[in-house]
Amino acid sequence: MKSKFYIFDLDGELHPADKFNYAKHNNLKKFADYEITQGKSVRAGAAAHKAHEEHMIADYEPGSDSGNFRWYPNGRLIKKLLERHVTNICTNYGAMEVETPAYV
């Protein structure tokens, strides 16, 4: 399957991303390039996925949307400790926790 990327301009016109004039839109060009090359980073993630499996950290959850993980005990512990650490850093700066519903 091949993805197609488009730019929807402020006048409501749709342009193929590779034909859009980015002359006055440097940040948009950077963003488009990043999004278009995402496929390369997904392939790089295969090594991380292999490590997750080997160390029984996580695997893709077949009963959920694509990309969601099933965390095994080792991975759950690592994830929980990282969450606590990040929460502590953020709350020390004055942030407040917010919880939203998780739809499964």
At residue 90 the predicted structure's pLDDT band, cuts being 50, 70 and 90, is very high
SS3 letters for the chain? Answer: CCCCCEEECCCCCEEEHHHCCCCCCHHHHHHHHHHHCHHHHHHHHHHHHHHHHHCCCEEECCCCCCCCEEECHHHHHHHHHHHHHHHHHHHHCCCCCCCCCCCC
Task: Indicate whether 42 and 77 sit together in one domain.
Answer: yes
Is 87 or 63 the better-scoring residue by pLDDT? 87
Tell me the whole-structure pTM to 2 decimals. 0.49
Task: Indicate whether 31 and 47 sit together in one domain.
Answer: no
Per-residue model confidence as pLDDT tens digits over 2-29: 778 999 988 889 999 999 999 999 999 9
Residue 85, domain member (yes or no): yes
Is 79 or 40 the better-scoring residue by pLDDT? 79
Say how many domains are in the chain: 2
Domain residues for the domain of 14 are 6-36
Q: What is the reported pLDDT for 2?
A: 76
* Mean model confidence pLDDT for the chain: 86
